[in-house]
């Protein structure tokens, strides 16, 4: 089973291509990092990130859970919860 730090590392590699690297330091990512305000992701990118997460972790994320994705920590906890149920 993946530990949270492993999830965070995989999440960084998923999110990084969507970021403006001049404005966002992926290594400064924290659980409190806000996907839209801090990372500059727009809603289209969030959907792409969710699809990438589903493929990477082999999980399904429901639409109502996507709307709860505000911070990196919230994304990690949903992924962890899904993996725990596998």
CATH topology of domain 4-84: 1.10.1200
Domain boundaries, the chain: 4-84
Q: What pLDDT is recorded for position 84?
A: 93
- Six token digits for residue 6: 């492993």
Cα 86 from Cα 38, distance rounded (Å): 31
Q: What pLDDT is recorded for position 1?
A: 59
Q: What pLDDT is recorded for position 21?
A: 79
Indicate the pTM of the whole model: 0.89
pLDDT digits (tens, 9 = 90+) for 20-76: 878 888 888 889 999 999 999 988 999 999 999 999 999 999 988 988 889 999 999
What is the secondary structure of 15-69 as a DSSP string? Answer: HGGGS-TTT--GGG--TT-BTTTTT---HHHHHHHHHHHHHHHT----HHHHTT-
pLDDT greater than 90 at residue 5: no
Q: What pLDDT is recorded for position 28?
A: 86
């Amino acid at each position: 089973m993946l530990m949270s730090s492993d999830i965070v590392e995989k999440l960084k590699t998923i999110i990084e291509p969507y970021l403006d690297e001049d404005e966002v330091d992926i290594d400064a990512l924290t659980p409190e990092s806000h996907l839209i305000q801090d990372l500059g992701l727009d809603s289209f990118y969030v959907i792409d990130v969710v699809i990438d997460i589903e493929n990477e972790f082999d999980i399904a994320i429901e639409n109502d859970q996507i709307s709860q994705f505000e911070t990196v920590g919230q994304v990690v906890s949903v992924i962890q919860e899904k993996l725990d149920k596998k």
